[in-house]
C-alpha cells in the first residue's frame, strides 16, 4: 500500500471525499497520468454503500455502462462483488433494458480500496479538509484541519452527505455524515464564506434487520437471472455465489402504527427543513400521501454474503427507534425481527449546481470541481458518473488542456450534467430514461460505441481494449451491410426459415427485411450466415445488429433530431459575452443568462424561462461579434 504522508507535498489533483464520486474521480485523474491524492476522513472505508445494497437499475444501469465505456471503475467492481444480477425491463425494447445487481457491501468497499491502492499516481490519505486555498479566484490547494496544507493544480470536492450532515431519528438530531461518522463542518463553512450558493437536501434509509431473526417463509423469494447481464464489457462471469431477495408487503396494522406516531417522526414532527426526493419517499410519506393504498411493497435485501444485516427496501423512515421496532414487527415474518441499526433521515448541504460549468468546474473558482451529492444528485451511479467527469476535467486542468463537455444528445452523463448546470435542482436529482430526448439512441448495448473512443483518447481505455472495441463494431457494420444487400434465396439457403415467415413477406426479401419480421433473430439465419462466413463471433455483435436493423426507423428519426440539436450546439457563446449590452432582452432573462452562462445556443434555449426570441437575439449578437461589428449594437447615449 502506497501512501503520502508529507503534508507539504504538491499534487496535480486533490480529491476530497472517498465515496462513489471521489473514487471514480480519483481513478480517472490518476489513470490520465495526474499525480492524484484522495483525502477522506477514513481511507479504510472507501466507496461505502450507505443506502441500499444494490447498483444499477433503469437509467442508473445505463450510467454505469457509460462509466465503464469511458474506462471508469464502478462497473467492474459491481460485477466482481455482485451477489444477484437482474436485467430489468427484459421484456421491453433494448433502450429501456438495464442491469441491476445486489452487492456485497463490504466486498464492494474492499475491492474498490484494493484497486485504488494499486493504481499508479494515486495516493490515499486520512485527512479532514477544513478549507480551500485560493489565490484570487484560482484554487491552489486545500487546508487540512491539522493545520497543514496540500498544494494542487485542481481540486475535486466530493463530500456526499457529509457537508454539514445532520441525522434525524424521531425527535433526536445529531451531527453526522453517515450513522456513527463525523460530518464535515469546517469545509461547509468555508464554502459558504467563499460565497457559494448553498441549499439543503434530505434523504433517508430504512432500518437494518438481523437476518437470523427473519422468518423467510412468509416472503416471496426473488431469484436473479440465470444468465446474468453485467455492467462491464470486461466481465465474463460472476465472481461470487448468487443469492435471492425476498418480497413482502406492509399492512393496515403497520399503517396504523405510523398514523398513531406521525408527530414523532422527524419528517412530520417538523425537524427537517431539507427537501427529499419524491421517488424515494419515507414510509410515513407513502401512508399519508397515498392513504388509499392498503399495502406497499417491501424487499428484504441482504447486505452481503456473510453479513447478518438485511436492508428493508421500502421502509425508509425517521421514526423513533421504538416505533420502528413496532412497525417492523407488525409485518408477518418479522414478528421477532431484531433491528441492528434504526432507519434515519439525513440532511446535508449541497452547492446549487448552476454554480458549475458543464465541465463541473465552479464558476467562482478556477480549478475547483465538484462531484456527487454536493451537486444535488442522489444515488451511487449518479455520483460516480459525475465523479468521472470531474476527475477527467481536473486532470485536464492540471495539464492546462481543454476540458471535455459531454453532449446531451450522446449520453445520460451528458444529460445529467446539462440538467444540473442549466436547470439547477429543487429535489435530489435522480436519473430517469425519460429525461433523455434521445432515449432510443442511448442504450446499454451501444454505450461503448458512444463513449469508448473518447475514453481511449483521454487515456482511460487501454489500447488492447480499444482494439477489441474497434473489431466488434467493424464486425457489426460489415454484417449490417451484408444483410442489407443479400437477398434470401429460399431454395438453397436456410430452408427451415420459410415456416417461420408469412408467405407474402418472403419474396425477394433481403436478410435485413427478414430480420424485421416479428420473432426472427440472427440465430434463425445462422446456417445462411455460416455458409457465407458471416456468423457473428459473439452475442454482443448479434445484439447490436438485431437492434440496429429492427428499430432502424425510430433510430434514424432520433438521429436526425439529435443532429438538429448538434447544429445549434455548435454555435458557441463566449464566456465574456455581455448580456447587459443586449437590447431586447428583459432584465429577468439577462440575469438568468448571466447566472447560468450557457456555453452554446442550444444550452441557452434549455434554461427555464428563456424564450425562443431571446435565443434569436443572442444568435444575432454572436453573428455581429463574429463579424467584428460588436460596437454598432450599443445603445446610443441619451
Partner 1 sequence: MNDQSDSICALSTPAGRSGMAVVRVSGEKSFQIVRSIFSPAKHFESPPARLAMLGRIVDPVDGSVMDEAVAICFPSPHSYTGEDMVEISLHGNPVLVATLLDFLCTCGARIAEPGEFTMRAFLHGRMDLTQAEAVRDLIEATTRRQAQAAAMQKSGTIALQLKPVKERLIEIIANLESAIEFVEEDLPLRSREAVVEQLRGLQDNLGKWIDSYRQGKIIRDGFSMAVVGSPNVGKSSVFNALLAQDRSIVADAPGTTRDLVSEYANMGGIPVRLMDTAGIRQSNDPIEQLGMERSQQAIADSDAVLLVVDSSQQPSSEDVDLRNGIELRTCIIVVNKCDLPSLWTLEQMERFADRLPLVVVSAKTGSGMEQLRAAVFNGIMGTPAGWQDGIMVTNLRHCRCLENAKEQLERAASALIGGMSEEFALTDLHEALKSLGEITGDTHVEDVLAKIFANFCIGK
Gap between the Cα atoms of 224 and 87, Å rounded: 9
Q: How near is the Cβ of 205 to partner 1 at its closest, in Å?
A: 12
| Residue 432 in grid coordinates | 430517469
The residue within the footprint of partner 1, chosen from 181, 437, 445, 552 (CB under 8 A), is 437
Gap between the Cα atoms of 61 and 71, Å rounded: 15
Three-state secondary structure string covering 271-334: CCCCECCCCCCCHHHHHHHCCCCCCCEEEEEECCCCCCEEEEECCCCCCCHHHHHHHHHCCCCC
Instruction: Give the nearer residue to partner 1 in terms of CB position, either 72 or 276.
Output: 276
Beta-strand pair 36-40/122-126: parallel
Nearest to 280 by CA among 436, 424, 432: 432
Which H or E element spans position 39? strand 36-40
Based on the shown chain and the rule CB under 8 A, indicate whether residue 334 belongs to the binding site for partner 1: no
Based on the shown chain and the rule CB under 8 A, indicate whether residue 562 belongs to the binding site for partner 1: no
How many other CB atoms are there within 10 angstroms of residue 2's CB atom? 12
The residue within the footprint of partner 1, chosen from 30, 573, 601, 607 (CB under 8 A), is 601
| 73-81, 186-194, 452-460, 621-629 -> range binding partner 1 (CB under 8 A) | 621-629
Based on the shown chain and the rule CB under 8 A, indicate whether residue 432 belongs to the binding site for partner 1: yes
Based on the shown chain and the rule CB under 8 A, indicate whether residue 440 belongs to the binding site for partner 1: yes
Instruction: Give Cβ neighbours of residue 176 (< 8 Å, ≥ 6 apart).
Output: 165, 166, 167, 182, 183, 346
Based on the shown chain and the rule CB under 8 A, indicate whether residue 250 belongs to the binding site for partner 1: no
For residue 514, the SS3 value is helix
Q: Tell me which residue has cell 426507423.
A: 553
Gap between the Cα atoms of 119 and 510, Å rounded: 50
Apex 626 CA angle, 625 and 628, nearest 5: 65
Based on the shown chain and the rule CB under 8 A, indicate whether residue 434 belongs to the binding site for partner 1: yes
Gap between the Cα atoms of 66 and 75, Å rounded: 9
Based on the shown chain and the rule CB under 8 A, indicate whether residue 474 belongs to the binding site for partner 1: no
Based on the shown chain and the rule CB under 8 A, indicate whether residue 378 belongs to the binding site for partner 1: no
Based on the shown chain and the rule CB under 8 A, indicate whether residue 211 belongs to the binding site for partner 1: no
**Is the separation of the CB atoms in 434 and 2 below 8 Å?**
no
User: What residues numbered 407-426 form the site for partner 1, per CB under 8 A?
Assistant: none
Based on the shown chain and the rule CB under 8 A, indicate whether residue 103 belongs to the binding site for partner 1: no
Gap between the Cα atoms of 429 and 419, Å rounded: 9
Q: How near is the Cβ of 567 to partner 1 at its closest, in Å?
A: 6
| 24-32, 251-259, 263-271, 308-316 -> range binding partner 1 (CB under 8 A) | 308-316
| 12-20, 318-326, 340-348, 625-633 -> range binding partner 1 (CB under 8 A) | 625-633
User: What residues numbered 264-283 form the site for partner 1, per CB under 8 A?
Assistant: 278-281
Nearest to 76 by CA among 121, 114, 36: 114
Instruction: Give the nearer residue to partner 1 in terms of CB position, either 148 or 626.
Output: 626
Gap between the Cα atoms of 76 and 116, Å rounded: 13
For residue 78, the SS3 value is helix
Q: Determine the size of the site formed for partner 1 (CB under 8 A).
A: 63
Based on the shown chain and the rule CB under 8 A, indicate whether residue 93 belongs to the binding site for partner 1: yes
| 13-21, 37-45, 528-536, 583-591 -> range binding partner 1 (CB under 8 A) | 583-591
Query: Using CB under 8 A as the criterion, what x/- string covers residues 335-374 for binding partner 1?
Result: ----------------------------------------
Q: How near is the Cβ of 63 to partner 1 at its closest, in Å?
A: 14
Q: How near is the Cβ of 250 to partner 1 at its closest, in Å?
A: 11
**Is the separation of the CB atoms in 293 and 255 below 8 Å?**
no
**Is the separation of the CB atoms in 14 and 28 below 8 Å?**
no
Based on the shown chain and the rule CB under 8 A, indicate whether residue 89 belongs to the binding site for partner 1: yes
How many other CB atoms are there within 10 angstroms of residue 561's CB atom? 14
Apex 408 CA angle, 404 and 409, nearest 5: 115
Q: How near is the Cβ of 619 to partner 1 at its closest, in Å?
A: 7
Based on the shown chain and the rule CB under 8 A, indicate whether residue 433 belongs to the binding site for partner 1: yes
Based on the shown chain and the rule CB under 8 A, indicate whether residue 88 belongs to the binding site for partner 1: yes
Q: How near is the Cβ of 433 to partner 1 at its closest, in Å?
A: 6
The residue within the footprint of partner 1, chosen from 96, 444, 461, 549 (CB under 8 A), is 96
Crossing angle (nearest 10°) for helices 539-550 and 463-485: 50
Q: How near is the Cβ of 589 to partner 1 at its closest, in Å?
A: 9
Which H or E element spans position 106? helix 105-118
Gap between the Cα atoms of 417 and 409, Å rounded: 12
Based on the shown chain and the rule CB under 8 A, indicate whether residue 297 belongs to the binding site for partner 1: yes
Based on the shown chain and the rule CB under 8 A, indicate whether residue 466 belongs to the binding site for partner 1: no
The residue within the footprint of partner 1, chosen from 19, 304, 314, 387 (CB under 8 A), is 314
The residue within the footprint of partner 1, chosen from 16, 545, 602, 607 (CB under 8 A), is 602
Gap between the Cα atoms of 169 and 174, Å rounded: 9
User: What residues numbered 481-540 form the site for partner 1, per CB under 8 A?
Assistant: 518
Gap between the Cα atoms of 111 and 297, Å rounded: 32
Q: How near is the Cβ of 309 to partner 1 at its closest, in Å?
A: 17
User: What residues numbered 20-59 form the site for partner 1, per CB under 8 A?
Assistant: 52, 58-59
| 147-155, 157-165, 339-347, 435-443 -> range binding partner 1 (CB under 8 A) | 435-443
Based on the shown chain and the rule CB under 8 A, indicate whether residue 583 belongs to the binding site for partner 1: yes
Based on the shown chain and the rule CB under 8 A, indicate whether residue 118 belongs to the binding site for partner 1: no
Rg (alpha carbons) of the chain, rounded to whole number: 27
The residue within the footprint of partner 1, chosen from 23, 41, 83, 95 (CB under 8 A), is 95
CA torsion 412→418→419→424, rounded to 10°?
Answer: 150
Backbone conformation region of residue 628, classed left if phi is above 0, alpha if psi is from -120 to 50, else beta? left
The residue within the footprint of partner 1, chosen from 535, 551, 559, 577 (CB under 8 A), is 551
Per CB under 8 A, residues contacting partner 1 are: 52, 58-59, 88-89, 91-93, 95-96, 278-281, 286, 289-290, 293, 296-299, 313-314, 316, 432-435, 437, 439-440, 518, 551, 554, 557-558, 564, 567-568, 583-584, 586, 601-602, 604-605, 608, 611-617, 619-620, 623-624, 627, 629, 632-633
Amino acid at each position: 500500500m502506497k501512501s503520502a504522508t508529507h503534508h507539504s507535498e504538491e499534487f496535480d489533483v486533490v480529491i476530497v471525499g472517498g465515496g462513489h464520486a471521489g473514487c471514480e474521480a480519483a481513478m480517472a485523474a490518476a489513470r490520465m497520468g495526474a499525480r492524484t491524492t484522495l483525502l477522506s476522513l477514513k481511507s479504510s472505508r472507501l466507496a461505502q454503500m450507505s443506502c441500499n445494497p444494490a447498483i444499477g437499475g433503469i437509467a442508473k444501469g445505463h450510467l454505469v455502462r457509460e462509466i465503464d465505456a469511458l474506462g471508469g471503475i464502478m462497473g467492474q467492481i459491481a460485477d466482481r462483488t455482485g451477489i444477484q444480477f437482474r436485467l430489468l425491463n427484459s421484456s421491453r425494447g433494448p433502450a429501456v433494458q438495464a442491469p441491476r445487481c445486489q452487492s456485497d457491501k463490504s466486498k464492494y468497499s474492499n475491492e474498490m480500496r484494493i484497486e485504488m491502492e494499486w493504481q499508479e499516481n494515486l495516493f490515499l490519505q486520512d485527512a479532514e479538509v477544513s478549507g480551500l486555498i485560493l489565490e484570487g479566484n484560482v484554487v491552489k490547494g486545500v487546508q487540512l484541519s491539522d493545520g497543514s496544507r496540500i498544494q494542487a493544480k485542481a481540486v475535486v470536492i466530493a463530500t456526499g452527505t457529509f457537508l454539514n450532515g445532520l441525522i434525524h431519528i424521531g425527535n433526536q438530531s445529531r451531527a453526522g455524515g453517515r450513522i456513527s461518522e463525523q460530518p464535515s463542518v469546517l469545509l461547509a463553512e468555508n464554502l459558504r464564506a467563499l460565497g457559494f450558493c448553498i441549499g439543503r437536501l434530505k434523504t433517508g434509509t430504512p432500518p437494518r434487520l438481523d437476518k437470523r431473526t427473519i422468518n423467510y417463509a412468509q416472503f416471496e423469494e426473488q431469484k436473479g437471472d440465470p444468465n446474468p447481464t453485467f455492467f462491464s464489457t470486461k466481465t465474463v462471469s460472476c465472481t461470487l455465489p448468487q443469492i435471492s431477495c425476498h418480497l413482502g408487503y406492509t399492512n393496515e396494522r403497520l399503517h396504523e402504527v405510523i398514523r398513531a406516531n406521525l408527530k414523532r417522526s422527524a419528517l412530520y414532527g417538523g425537524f427537517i427543513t431539507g427537501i427529499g426526493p419524491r421517488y424515494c419517499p419515507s414510509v410515513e410519506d407513502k401512508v399519508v400521501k397515498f392513504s388509499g393504498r392498503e399495502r406497499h411493497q417491501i424487499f428484504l435485501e441482504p447486505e452481503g454474503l456473510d453479513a447478518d444485516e438485511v436492508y428493508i427496501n421500502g421502509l425508509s423512515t425517521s421514526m423513533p427507534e421504538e416505533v420502528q421496532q413496532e412497525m417492523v414487527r407488525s409485518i408477518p415474518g418479522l414478528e421477532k425481527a431484531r433491528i441492528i441499526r434504526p432507519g434515519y433521515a439525513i440532511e446535508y448541504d449541497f452547492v446549487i449546481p448552476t454554480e458549475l460549468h458543464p465541465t463541473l468546474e465552479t464558476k467562482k473558482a478556477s480549478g475547483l470541481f465538484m462531484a456527487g451529492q454536493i451537486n444535488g444528485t442522489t444515488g451511487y451511479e449518479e455520483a460516480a458518473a459525475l465523479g468521472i467527469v470531474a476527475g477527467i476535467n481536473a486532470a485536464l486542468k492540471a495539464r492546462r488542456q481543454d476540458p471535455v463537455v459531454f453532449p446531451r444528445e450522446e449520453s445520460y452523463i451528458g444529460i445529467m450534467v446539462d440538467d444540473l448546470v442549466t436547470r439547477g435542482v429543487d429535489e435530489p436529482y435522480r436519473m430517469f430514461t425519460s429525461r433523455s430526448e434521445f432515449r432510443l439512441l442511448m442504450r446499454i448495448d451501444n454505450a461503448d460505441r458512444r463513449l469508448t473512443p473518447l475514453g481511449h483518447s483521454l487515456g482511460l481505455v487501454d489500447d488492447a481494449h480499444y482494439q477489441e472495441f474497434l473489431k466488434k463494431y467493424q464486425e457489426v457494420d460489415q454484417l449490417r451491410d451484408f444483410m442489407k444487400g443479400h437477398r434470401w434465396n429460399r431454395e438453397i439457403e436456410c430452408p427451415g426459415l420459410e415456416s417461420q415467415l408469412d408467405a407474402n413477406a418472403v419474396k425477394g426479401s433481403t436478410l435485413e427485411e427478414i430480420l424485421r419480421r416479428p420473432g426472427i433473430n440472427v440465430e434463425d439465419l445462422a446456417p445462411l450466415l455460416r455458409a457465407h462466413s458471416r456468423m457473428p463471433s459473439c452475442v454482443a455483435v448479434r445484439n447490436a445488429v438485431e437492434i440496429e436493423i429492427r428499430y432502424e426507423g425510430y433510430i434514424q428519426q432520433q438521429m436526425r433530431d439529435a443532429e438538429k440539436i448538434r447544429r445549434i450546439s455548435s454555435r458557441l457563446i463566449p464566456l465574456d459575452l455581455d448580456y447587459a449590452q443586449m437590447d431586447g432582452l428583459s432584465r429577468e432573462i439577462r440575469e438568468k443568462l448571466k447566472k447560468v452562462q450557457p456555453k452554446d445556443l442550444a444550452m441557452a434555449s434549455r434554461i427555464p424561462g428563456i424564450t425562443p426570441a431571446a435565443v434569436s437575439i443572442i444568435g444575432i449578437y454572436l453573428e455581429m461579434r463574429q463579424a467584428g461589428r460588436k460596437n454598432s449594437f450599443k445603445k446610443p447615449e441619451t
